[in-house]
DNA sequence: CGGAAGATTGAGCGTAGTCAAACCGAGTGG
DNA sequence: CCACTCGGTTTGACTACGCTCAATCTTCCG
């Protein structure tokens, strides 16, 4: 989302709402009527597989949108759950669409937002399709790092809001494998890890670990 | 894409073009100005990784759209290549967007199309993130089967237009693994396989193989 | 006919999954 | 205050699935 896109949406003053840590914002299957902008806090979106296991499909930080996948079939395809106390901004889709009728700009914004979501998932597919465990974790950490930086926080030291199991689900790995990859990075002097507190010691080394998809 | 959506687009009569087998329709990085509807033939979309390997991100059959990912950054994110002689319909985006300004219906159609793409990639992520080789191939074949059926072809007997390597890239597997999975299905009496010609003998068995993501 | 590209199959190996144990910190209750 | 539980994390040992390397076969096409 570019700054100007965000400003536009910001100007519209939609209803806000608190979501407590662990609480759902919407469930897979819920009727779609709004998209949501995260104002503060972090969310995960996920869906339950038939066998009861959870598949995490994304993490959402302040300033990011959720719920666009619901437009296709009129119902949300995933469940959004707050990973810490959060505040969201509810954006009813109908008036938004109405607003876009007659405004080429607004329409462009909407289109770009959706397209960006496609590109994001695209990137994740690459990751899941062709990278090793350590490459996946490196990619994940670099992504988080960038997003922290974009929000004015330190890109090299941050607190993860999600569990190893959630990271694993997102990256297509088991939690033990994620844990081992963290340990390996620490042993290589790339990271300092203390549970969910991460300090990136050697950013370039991490980038190299990410690009190690030679062979 | 629902029938009515397709009809709407169909009525607009955009320019058509032939694409020979193996030829690109657009390249990753090309300036985005149009989206494309496949009229006949089959395409793959893929992108080149830095190390020269190819990552296939989708296959597109008659009636399906390509190129929506380009909207986000004004340039196509992937390359589209014809897997057989094909005909496509070029849909310049600018006039389309213009048409949508003023038409809530047209806008809804566009939105749904994009959202559908998000949902599609979502599904692929699930697949790549949590399924075994045979489950992946089963999912792939069932998907092809459904799409053949939707086009009025036999859902149980068809000719694959893509190589084992391309299937493997798409599913996050090596070509040998794909080949072995085909052989295994044949041995289990689920399929009859002769190179790219596939006959599904036991559809329900295939569904079971797909749902076998217990353990 | 010869060469190239795709597909199949086999053997051995390595990465990540499975199962299990131990640890840690936070919260709860005796 | 300490014992206890519980969820999350780490680490180890073993296993297995899919990858790598390689040989063979088929089909297609010059």
Q: Of A124, A150, A170, which residue sits at a domain end?
A: A124
Q: Is residue A172 predicted with pLDDT exceeding 90?
A: yes
The answer to whether residues B103 and B10 belong to one domain is yes
**Residue of B45, B72, B93, B211 for testing the chain A interface, max A β-carbons within 10 Å:** B72
| Residues 167-196/A with CB < 7 A to strand D | 175-176, 178-180, 182-183, 193, 195-196
Could you say which nucleotides of strand C lie within 7 A of any protein CB atom?
6-11, 15-20
Pair B73, B138 in one domain: no
Which residue of A101, A102, A111 is in closest CB contact with B71? A111
Number of domains in chain B: 2
Identify whether residues A178 and A136 lie together within a single domain: yes
Q: Which one of A77, A104, A114 has the shortest CB-CB distance to B101?
A: A104
**Residue A161 has which token pair?**
């809001």
Q: Do B47 and A126 touch (CB under 8 A)?
A: yes
B160 and B67 together in one domain:
no
Quote the CA–CA distance of B183 and A184 in Å, as a whole number. 38
Q: Is B48 helix (H, G, I), strand (E, B) or coil?
A: strand
Distance CA B200, CA B190 (A): 6
pLDDT digits (tens, 9 = 90+) for A113-168: 888 888 888 888 888 888 999 999 999 999 999 999 999 999 999 999 999 999 99
Tokens 């662990």 found at:
A22
In a domain, A50, yes or no: yes
**Chain-chain contact of B104 with A115 (C-beta, under 8 angstroms):** no
Decide if B136 contacts B171 (C-beta within 8 A): yes
Domain stop point among A62, A93, A124: A124
Which residue gives the smallest C-alpha to C1' distance to D26? B195
Which DSSP letter does residue A69 get?
G
The residues near B145 (Cβ < 8 Å, ≥ 6 apart) are B155, B156, B158, B200, B203
Residue A1 pLDDT more than 50?
Answer: no
pLDDT of residue B13: 64
End-to-end CA distance of chain A: 35
Contact B83, B161 (CB under 8 A): yes
What pLDDT is stored for residue A4 in this prediction? 52
**Strand order through the sheet with B157-159:** B157-159, B197-200, B191-194
Q: Residue B113 in contact with residue B5, Cβ under 8 Å? A: yes
Answer whether residue B183 is part of any domain. Answer: yes
Tell me the DSSP string of B101-169. TT-HHHHHHHHHHHHHHHHHHHHHHHHHHH--HHHHHHHHHHHHHHHHHHTTS-SSEEE--S-HHHHHH
* CA/C1' separation B177–C3 (Å): 26
pLDDT in tens, A64-80: 999 988 888 899 989 99
Q: Tell me: do B96 and B159 sit in the same domain.
A: no
Taking alpha carbons only, the member of B127, B124, B142 closest to residue B191 is B142
A75 DSSP assignment: B
**Do A23 and A67 lie in a common domain?**
yes
Q: In this structure, are B113 and B192 located in the same domain?
A: no
For residues A27-36, average pLDDT: 94
Residue A214 confidence (pLDDT) above 50: no
Give every residue of chain B whose pLDDT is below 70, as ranges: 1-13, 212-215
Pairwise CA distance, residues B117 & B121, whole Å: 6
- Spell out the residues 6+ positions from residue A132 whose beta carbon is closer than 8 angstroms to its own: A212, A213
End position of a domain, from candidates A78, A96, A124: A124
Residue spans of alpha helices (H) in B23-103: 93-100
- Provide the CB-side half-sphere exposure for A89 (13 A, CA): 17
The per-residue DSSP string of A24-56 comes to EEE-TTPBP-EEEEEEES-EEEEEE-TTS-EEE
Give the pLDDT of residue B85. 93
Query: Cβ of residue B133 near strand D, that is under 7 Å?
Result: yes
A215 inside domain: no
Task: Assess if residue A195 is contained within a domain.
Answer: yes
For A20, phi then psi, to 5°, come to -75, 155
Same-domain check for residues B84 and B35: yes
Is A76 contained in some domain? yes
Give the residue nearest to nucleotide D8 (CA to C1'): A163
Residue A211: the pLDDT is 80
Cα–Cα distance list, B155 to A166, B143, B149, B150, B178 (Å): 37, 10, 5, 8, 20
Q: Are residues B50 and B102 in the same domain?
A: yes
State the helix-helix crossing angle for A175-187 and A164-171, rounded to 10 degrees: 100
A106 band by pLDDT with thresholds 50, 70 and 90: confident
Nearest CB to B114 within list A49, A118, A126: A118
Whether residue B13 sits in one domain with residue B47: yes
* A93, A198: one domain: no
Mean pLDDT for A187-204 is 94
H or E segment at A126?
helix A104-130
Is there a contact between A122 and B69 if contact means CB atoms under 8 Å apart? yes
Contact call for residues B67 and B80 (beta carbons, < 8 A): yes
**Same structural domain for residues A84 and A63?**
yes
pLDDT of A108 higher than 50: yes
Residue A5 has pLDDT above 60, yes or no: no
User: A48: which residues sit within 8 A by CB, 6+ positions away?
Assistant: A28, A54, A55, A79
Q: Are A167 and A182 a contacting pair, CB within 8 Å? A: no
Residue B215 lies in a domain: no
- CATH number of the structural domain spanning residue B111: 2.60.120.10
CATH number at residue B139: 1.10.10.10
pLDDT of residue A205: 93
Q: Which of residues 126-145 of A touch strand C (CB under 7 A)?
A: 132-134
Domain hosting residue B156, numbered range: 131-210
Q: Is residue B89 part of a domain?
A: yes
Residue B205 lies in a domain: yes
Q: What predicted TM-score, i.e. pTM, was given to this entire model? A: 0.87
What's the confidence (pLDDT) of residue B215?
35
Confidence at residue A66, expressed as pLDDT on a 0 to 100 scale: 93
């Amino acid at each position: 989302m570019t700054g100007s896109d965000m400003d536009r949406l910001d100007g519209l003053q939609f209803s806000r709402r608190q979501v407590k840590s662990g609480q759902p914002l919407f469930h897979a299957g819920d009727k779609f009527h709004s998209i949501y902008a995260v104002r503060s806090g972090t969310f995960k979106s996920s869906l339950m597989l038939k066998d009861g296991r959870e598949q995490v499909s994304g993490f959402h930080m302040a300033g990011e949108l959720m719920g666009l996948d619901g437009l296709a079939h009129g119902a949300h395809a995933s469940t959004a759950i707050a990973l810490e106390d959060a505040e969201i901004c509810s954006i009813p889709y109908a008036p938004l669409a109405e607003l876009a009728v007659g405004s080429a700009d607004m329409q462009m914004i909407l289109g770009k937002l959706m397209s960006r979501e496609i590109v994001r998932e695209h990137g994740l597919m690459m990751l899941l399709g062709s990278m090793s465990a350590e490459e996946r974790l490196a990619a994940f950490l670099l992504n988080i790092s960038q997003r922290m930086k974009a929000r004015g926080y330190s890109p090299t030291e941050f607190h993860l809001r999600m569990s190893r199991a959630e990271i694993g689900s997102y990256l297509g790995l088991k939690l033990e494998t994620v844990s081992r990859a963290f340990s390996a990075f620490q042993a290589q002097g790339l990271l300092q890890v203390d549970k969910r507190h991460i300090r990136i010691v050697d950013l370039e080394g991490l980038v190299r670990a990410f690009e190690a998809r030679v062979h």
